Amino acid sequence: MSNIKAWKLMSLFCLFAVLMGCQSKEEQLQQTIQESLKKADVELTQLGTALDNGTLRNAVLLKEYGSLLKQQQPELSKVVDVITLDATKQGALYSGLTQRLKDLKGTYLIPPYEDTLHSIDLLREAAKPTLFTDALTDPINMLADMSKGSLARIGAISQQAEGAGEGNQLVGNPNYGNWQTNSNGISFWQWYGMYRILGDVFDRVEYGRWSSRRKYSYYNDYGRYRYSSPKQIKTQSALETRTRQSYQRQGKQFTSPYASKKTGASGLSRSSYTPPKSRSSYSRSSSYSNSSGSVRNSGSRTSRGVSRGK
């Protein structure tokens, strides 16, 4: 009997040791997450300070483009003011990062922890000044497309070389709006809040047409996983699947807006060409892993200067 009792005690001890080991690992993961969140908080604050101090090159250029365009076309002043907000902490791009950090702080104790760590990694990458500077090329190029050719696109092929069609670089970016599906099952782009004024300048965009004819934008071709939350990526995937199924029922061909990178990007940082960091276990457990509306007045050429010319 004593041997049986000893065996039972040993078994209980081993089970307790295993449970303690699992708990210890969980605690370590939580600690790692907390440390990563603190780093993300510091890095995002530093990015905000850089915006406040005017030390981000493309933030300065965005303001300069805005000032020049308002002089040329005063009737667009209100629209320009909304777009140039991205040169500040009040812009949708920076605000989107701060909201994601807030959400992560509120849910970091909820498993799976590998997913949370991956989300923090992507957020920290997005907060890097080099990557954020690249992301600002989209609002800059919106202003360039509105300038009737007097301001040049940057970090992208010229509008003239890209050809006629949709050129709204912020369409599809959930920091500025979302896709709304009507009773007929057709999805149209809707701008958020103050960005609704952009509808006065850019034509209404239908998802299926935009998907097959989408032009280059930094967000859609390089920055989507870094500048979207997991929930936003899942929403995009669900809409893509739903639209593809609808097209198939109608015997129509559907082309994913993310099927391939659009050509024309130039002058971006090396970081933008580097795929986002990934975690092997995350890619197996989540869909959040690697895998624009037309402007009425346009016609600029690529140049590194503010104004068109040689």
pLDDT tens digits, one per residue of 119-156: 999 999 999 999 999 999 999 999 999 998 899 999 98
- 281 or 41: whose pLDDT is higher? 41
CA distances from 250 to 209, 239, 243, 245 (A): 15, 17, 11, 9
Q: Are 158 and 305 in contact (CB under 8 A)?
A: no
User: What average pLDDT does the segment 264-279 reach?
Assistant: 80
How far apart CA 158 and CA 302 sit, in angstroms, is 4
Give Cα 269 distance to the centre of its chain.
16
Q: Mean pLDDT in the chain?
A: 85
**Partners of residue 180 on adjacent β-strands:** 188
Q: Give residue 13's pLDDT band: very low, low, confident or very high (50, 70, 90).
A: low
At position 137, the amino acid (one-letter code) is: T
Q: Where are the domains of the chain?
A: 25-261
Q: Give residue 21's pLDDT band: very low, low, confident or very high (50, 70, 90).
A: low
Range among 6-20, 206-220, 280-294 with highest mean pLDDT value: 206-220
- 295 or 144: whose pLDDT is higher? 144
How far apart CA 32 and CA 29 sit, in angstroms, is 5
What's the pTM value of the predicted model, to 2 decimals? 0.83
pLDDT at 192: 93
User: What average pLDDT does the segment 1-24 reach?
Assistant: 57
State the residue for tokens 């667009």: 76
Give percent above pLDDT 70 in the chain.
80
Q: Give residue 168's pLDDT band: very low, low, confident or very high (50, 70, 90).
A: confident
Q: How does DSSP assign 241-293, residue by residue?
A: HHHHHHHHHTT-----TTSSPPS---S--HHHHSPPP--HHHHHH-S-S---P
- 213 or 19: whose pLDDT is higher? 213
Structure tokens at 86: 């991205």
Helices (H) and strands (E) in the chain, counts: 13, 2
Over its C-alpha atoms, the chain yields an Rg (Å, rounded) of 24
How far apart CA 219 and CA 136 sit, in angstroms, is 9
Structure tokens at 300: 């600029």
How far apart CA 89 and CA 66 sit, in angstroms, is 17
User: What average pLDDT does the segment 9-16 reach?
Assistant: 59
DSSP H/E element including 189: strand 187-191
pLDDT at 273: 87
